[in-house]
Amino acid sequence: MIEEDPSEKTAKEFRTMVSKTTPDQSLSDQYTNDRNLLSALIVERDQLLRELEHLAHAPQGKGTPERFMRFDVAKAQSFLFELSKTVNRIDTLIVQINSYAERCDMPLVGLEYREE
C-alpha cells in the first residue's frame, strides 16, 4: 500500500473537523467551510485512485502465473467502496455549495462552473 502523504493526513483531519456546519453560521461561512471540505474530499478521492491504480499495477510484469494471481480483490473492493462513498459526498457537497452560492452571490463550483 502507498504511504500516505502528510498533506493528505491533514486533509482527512480537516474533513473530520469541518464535516458539520452549525445552524448559527452565516451562509458565507457555510459556503467557505463546505468548499474547504470539498477540497479535502477531492484530495482523499485522488489518494484512493492512486492506491487503486498502484494495486492494479502491482502484480503486472514478467513472471510466473502465481505472480499474476496475487491481485488483492478484497482490497480493491474496499478501495472501490470508499471511492464510491467519497464521490457521493463530493456530489452532495457540490449541490449544497451551489445552493449557498446562489443565495449569497458566491462563485458556483463543479465542472460546468470551472473558471478558465
Report yes or no on whether pTM surpasses 0.75: no
The 3-state DSSP class for residue 56 equals: helix
Identify whether 18 is part of a domain.
Answer: no
Identify whether 14 is part of a domain.
Answer: no
Identify whether 16 is part of a domain.
Answer: no
Identify whether 4 is part of a domain.
Answer: no
pLDDT in 10s for each residue of the chain, 116 residues: 445 555 555 555 554 544 455 566 788 899 999 999 999 999 999 999 999 998 887 766 566 666 556 678 888 899 999 999 999 999 999 999 999 999 999 999 986 654 44
How many other CB atoms are there within 10 angstroms of residue 27's CB atom? 16
Residues of the domain holding 97 = 26-113
- By 3-state DSSP, what share of the chain in percent is helix, strand and coil, each rounded to 5? 70, 0, 30
47: CB partners within 8 A, 6+ apart: 2, 4, 5, 8
Cβ proximity of 72 and 55 under 8 Å = yes
Identify whether 76 is part of a domain.
Answer: yes
How many distinct structural domains can be found in the chain? Answer: 1
Identify whether 60 is part of a domain.
Answer: yes
Would you say the C-alpha torsion 25, 26, 30, 36 has a positive or negative sign?
negative
pLDDT score of 116: 42
C-alpha cell belonging to residue 79: 478501495
